[in-house]
Structure 1
């Protein structure tokens, strides 16, 4: 059903000729001190940087272009130009107790930065290694649910708008912005087609490469005098500035749209920002202590990271269902949220000074994701935990009976104040970010001994098979 809602939004955008908002609340944290990083690589050189643009939100781009990134000295000179910007920015974030946020144009640019970070931290130049380490923080955080360190402008806009084109086409930032702010008096498809002609990731247009850039690079290498080389370098710089500036400007525009006052506050973002600040402080402390970032994780480190990612997914989903209106409604439509009307409150008195409260709920939802024994919590108001004891379908309604959590619980007091006919939303409990340390400690204990699948030791010998009994039925009956 949630997919149908998204399809309906895209159809509405196609009908109107412009993107339509799909949420009312902001979906990402926007740091006022965020930095925008735009990189261009040479065709066929995926781990190179031909041109770089860097700046803060609302600031003009500082651009550095080299003639040929295949020259190691020139490539390292560009990277050394970038290093002080990131050193200063990270140091300021540490001093302020917050976290750095880097914005790139698209998922392709995000992957390029992650690949560069992986490569640079294993070079033989200490300052280049340092830049790779700083970028690694953002790169390692990027696949984790709820991270706010490395942001894709196209990805962030897609969380807020639906367009009349395919989802894959939304990765082109200029086309996406055209749908959001279409030019007046012009056909939307013609405007989008024109926007798609602009490079918006890390690669330049192949025709531009073949007809303009490649001859200019060849002329640079064939220059007879230093003066001629400088002249050809200036020509290359002028060409690439014409490519990189629109990408940087489009990223700026995306942040401005997401910073508009039209988006309501989202309490889950405060929790995500606090968690990001803790992760950043932990990462930088490890660098201060001299811990190296490995090329490959050990079995133990890999298991711990997987456990952390799983917990992050659960926390983000729980927080979104609790605080985000659109996520709540999607949860209701898919059955992950129980929206039910209170039919009755049954009070029992099993023994002295002990009272039990059973809630009888009715819901018209189809496809509820409920099982006996599940524990659900109210998503609004006082905390009330409910263990599902009975599920029954009666005509168009699902009847659910659950017991309020036993013992001294604020839920019992809340149950006393409930009135018949009241509509309640139930879902997972509140996110618990501080419990992550306990989860990682448990995983560390379990992985104290490396399993044979990830070590040098051979697998343990299989147990010798037992002979089959002559009378299988008698043997089974003998177990009863």
Structure 2
């Protein structure tokens, strides 16, 4: 936790309300997000119990599993979920824009022009907290390898074709959510915690209702009091008024409401089977009893999920009040490329993502996430004075007013080069000695001035702590003429910011192809890996643009697959 965040939390405790950590919104919000509130069975994260989803805050759709231990009912639940979610995910794949570029010919090495499709927009799923993200990842893992009737060996329990397709989409969204700055799958608690500080711990911030209580505490209550009430308040039946949707259930709800409701359904289902059996019975009455028990379950589960549903939409309202950051569109374009790439992999009929990536693909993903984290830190600092203030407090940047600009030249070469000295009066104390390289943060020009200029590099020439000044020697960004171009240097009285970190992200060293790696990392090819039919694959689901794989890219199947195969 940075010093500024710590101070903001202390101020939140003193003031009784959430304190801003940002002046702009650093994550993209879709015009039509899909809000999804999942609920799982107690003690089994991978067993779905219910989900409330939709793009209309006034018309959520509820899907439930009346008996989570019944695999047939769970399969029907997943099929219904796919029927609602897949049309939304696929609806952004038709409208595209054409992007001109070039690529190297693998044989000649010559660059050839190419035109690529980029989807004009992309879907966005919003869940209450990080537990919801993990649950969707588990659903993707458990469904993307399911056999269907279209497979050569469908097995005794084939799933509808849309179920493994949903699993591939959920896996892609979950993997993309691990990329810093991505906005395809977002937890609301993480969004709010990035933009505001509360007076409670990070663990307590995972309770969405308690987190929101710090933003809008009732009259006469502090944020802490409102958060405690949101976490602990119970109704006359002893149930939580605002369940956490963790996505696990409240134990009191499990004991007093859910378990009896499931027991009533089990009894009704058993009676229906007996009525339809050889002994006979009133089948119509038995079916009506099952319908009534399911309706009761739907009513109690909807009541359990609606508070979190409204809280997610409340959080979206708070975030939409913030102006978008300048670099937000650039990061969303990266999400659109990711969505477009996965759309194309599905259209090409490639296999599902493997359970374990090969060494090269894993290294590429790690390098990409490290690179995106660095880029995100830099972009947030450039977009937000509060984010830059953290770097200034840590000595990684300094900001001040220019007091003097002295022309100077480097005469060691064939022709003199401008190397002016810029003196800045600042109250910051950068952790750097003379000779340290720094980079000038240049303000983006207006909409009619073209693209923003490149960052300007300089070195610290002198530091005078008593006078509160730092003198830097500018090395670049002044044009190619003998004299600096107009506007390339700051004027006296102008406020400037210099950072000790680079403002552009360096590209990582190229990685070898999987076939060129040693046997300790999955290559060279030739090793025979025993796998189950119809669950092999080389699609990495990576956003690095590489879909290459080796024999180790295969997945050995889920536990359910092994059980069905008799192994």
Q: TM-score range by the shorter chain?
A: 0.7 to 0.9
Pairs within 5 Å for 1:13-162: 13-96=12-95, 97-124=120-147, 125=159, 126-162=161-197
Partner of 2:388: 328
Partner of 1:280: 339
Partner of 2:555: none
Structure 1: distance between partners of 2:433 and 2:456:
15
Q: Tell which deviates more after alignment, 244-253 or 358-367.
A: 358-367
Shift of residue 271, structure 1, vs aligned partner: 1.1
In 2 relative to 1, CA 304–416 (structure 1 residues): closer, same or farther, beyond 3 Å?
A: closer
In 2 relative to 1, CA 144–396 (structure 1 residues): closer, same or farther, beyond 3 Å?
A: farther
Shift of residue 212, structure 1, vs aligned partner: 2.3
Aligned length: 448
Structure 2: distance between partners of 1:184 and 1:144:
40
Matched residue SS, 2:48: coil
Match of 1:379 among 442, 450, 454: 442
Unaligned runs of 5+ in 1: 458-480
Match of 1:255 among 316, 331, 339: 316
Q: TM-score, normalised by structure 1?
A: 0.84
Partner of 2:156: none
Unaligned runs of 5+ in 2: 96-119, 148-158, 233-241, 273-285, 445-452, 525-567
Is 2:421 aligned against 1:359? yes
Partner of 1:449: 516
Matched residue SS, 2:371: helix
Structure 2: distance between partners of 1:208 and 1:371:
65
Partner of 2:255: 210
Q: Tell which deviates more after alignment, 9-18 or 72-81.
A: 9-18
Offset from partner CA, 1:321-343 (integer Å, 9 cap, x none): 22222212222222222325544
- Cα contact 2:439–2:503 (8 A) shared by 1: no
Shift of residue 419, structure 1, vs aligned partner: 3.2
Partner of 1:305: 365
Structure 2: distance between partners of 1:163 and 1:12:
9
Partner of 2:103: none
- Cα contact 2:209–2:311 (8 A) shared by 1: yes
In 2 relative to 1, CA 194–416 (structure 1 residues): closer, same or farther, beyond 3 Å?
A: closer
Q: Tell which deviates more after alignment, 57-66 or 266-275.
A: 57-66
Offset from partner CA, 1:273-323 (integer Å, 9 cap, x none): 111111111121122112221111001111111121122112212211222
Partner of 1:196: 231
In 2 relative to 1, CA 366–352 (structure 1 residues): closer, same or farther, beyond 3 Å?
A: closer
User: Once superposed, what is the RMSD of the aligned Cα atoms?
Assistant: 2.9
Structure 2: distance between partners of 1:371 and 1:311:
29
Matched residue SS, 2:63: strand
Structure 1: distance between partners of 2:496 and 2:293:
69
Shift of residue 375, structure 1, vs aligned partner: 5.3
Partner of 2:431: 368
In 2 relative to 1, CA 361–286 (structure 1 residues): closer, same or farther, beyond 3 Å?
A: farther
Offset from partner CA, 1:6-44 (integer Å, 9 cap, x none): 233223222232223332212221101110011111112
Partner of 2:296: 235
Structure 1: distance between partners of 2:227 and 2:478:
61
Shift of residue 59, structure 1, vs aligned partner: 3.9
Match of 1:418 among 484, 487, 490: 490
In 2 relative to 1, CA 347–188 (structure 1 residues): closer, same or farther, beyond 3 Å?
A: closer
- Cα contact 1:340–1:361 (8 A) shared by 2: no
